[in-house]
């Protein structure tokens, strides 16, 4: 049994400690050669459930089993070193060392501090418009390593947004675009082409974004670009506008499918 995908390790651990449920932090303390995850990756192991992953496969299962032995024996810490080769049924070729420690309030504080630092450094993604596609995208991005916010002037639409880590903003989308910090990503999916144009023009003029995606067709892109050129916007900036969003290889207009494709574009944009 696993915990919810949007719960952080600290949230899971806080609940476990409050309920008096024993838990162990299973960490990848050393990763040499080819390994599924990098050193520092961690997960939580409880007697009947886990939260997170250190990469899956044989070595994760061995780590979970060892962590549960530690919990059953009321021990404090242990370690496990494993080669990821034929002898363990894997072919990665690397070596890992797993650190296992019974979790307590000190563990919780350390996890909270680490997660807070990670959240502060996470890339910002702003979704303009809380219609069908905007809401689907907010839900798709919720478990991903982004700081996601969705902006719409309509409170009734913002109220329909799902996701535990998504910031919901009832306010002016165009004003939000004007004050956007550099290096952020923007996905424009409002109900109004006029509003879409205002948002995109503001972001293109600044040209400090990591990604700017606009929902629409090739015809919409051509129409908008013509207007932006008439405004004197820079051609290099215009070339960075992604429209249609989600690529052109998959012609599926269902909101959830568009959201999945855009999520992949955002991951690639920030990785670059």
CATH number, position 262: 3.40.50.720
**What is the pTM for the complete model shown?**
0.82
Residue 51 has pLDDT above 60, yes or no: yes
Shared domain check, 234 and 168: yes
As a whole number of angstroms, the distance between CA 236 and CA 254 comes to 31
Q: Using CB atoms within 10 A of its CB, is residue 24 exposed (0-12), middle (13-18) or buried (19+)?
A: buried
Shared domain check, 229 and 99: no
The number of beta carbons lying within 10 Å of the beta carbon of residue 178 is: 14
Show the DSSP H helices in 75-192 as ranges: 105-121, 132-141, 155-158, 173-178
Residue 89 — very low, low, confident or very high, per pLDDT cuts 50/70/90?
A: low
Shared domain check, 211 and 164: yes
Shared domain check, 47 and 158: no
Residue 173 has pLDDT above 70, yes or no: yes
Residue 262 — very low, low, confident or very high, per pLDDT cuts 50/70/90?
A: very high
- For the chain, how many structural domains are there in total? 2
Shared domain check, 40 and 108: yes
Residues 6 or more apart in contact with residue 69 via CB below 8 angstroms: 78
Shared domain check, 140 and 259: yes
> How confident is the model at residue 176, as a pLDDT?
95
Shared domain check, 18 and 106: yes
Shared domain check, 126 and 251: yes
As a whole number of angstroms, the distance between CA 98 and CA 96 comes to 6
Shared domain check, 132 and 73: no
User: Is 104 domain-assigned?
Assistant: yes
**Residue ranges making up the domain that contains 13:** 9-118
Residue with tokens 């820079």: 234
Each residue's pLDDT tens digit, 200-249: 999 999 999 999 999 999 999 999 999 999 999 999 999 999 999 987 67
User: Is 147 domain-assigned?
Assistant: yes
User: Is 82 domain-assigned?
Assistant: yes
Residue 254 has pLDDT above 80, yes or no: yes
Shared domain check, 188 and 103: no
């Amino acid at each position: 049994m696993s915990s919810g995908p949007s719960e952080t390790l600290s949230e899971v651990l806080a609940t476990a400690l409050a309920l008096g449920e024993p838990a162990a932090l299973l960490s990848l303390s050393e990763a040499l050669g080819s390994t599924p995850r990098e050193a520092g990756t961690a997960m939580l192991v409880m007697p009947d459930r886990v939260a997170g992953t250190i990469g899956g496969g044989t070595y994760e299962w061995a780590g979970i089993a060892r962590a549960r032995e530690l919990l059953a024996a009321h021990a404090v810490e242990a370690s496990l070193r494993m080669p990821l080769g034929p002898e363990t049924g894997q072919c990665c070729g690397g070596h890992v060392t797993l650190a296992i420690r019974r979790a307590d309030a000190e563990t919780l504080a350390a996890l909270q501090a680490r997660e807070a630092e990670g959240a502060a450094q996470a890339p910002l993604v702003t979704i303009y418009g809380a219609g069908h596609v905007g809401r689907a995208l907010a839900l798709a991005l919720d478990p991903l390593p982004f700081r996601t916010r969705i902006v719409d002037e309509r409170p009734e639409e913002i109220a329909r947004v799902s996701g535990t880590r998504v910031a919901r903003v009832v306010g002016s989308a165009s004003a939000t675009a004007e004050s956007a910090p550099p290096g952020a990503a923007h996905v424009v999916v409002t109900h109004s082409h006029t509003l879409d144009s205002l948002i995109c023009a503001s972001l293109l003029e600044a040209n400090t974004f990591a990604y700017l995606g606009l929902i629409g067709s090739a015809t919409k892109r051509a129409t908008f670009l013509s207007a932006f050129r008439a405004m004197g916007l820079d051609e290099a900036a215009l070339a960075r506008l992604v429209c249609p969003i989600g690529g052109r290889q998959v012609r599926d207009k269902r909101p959830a499918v568009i959201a999945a494709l855009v999520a992949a574009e955002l991951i690639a944009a920030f990785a670059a």
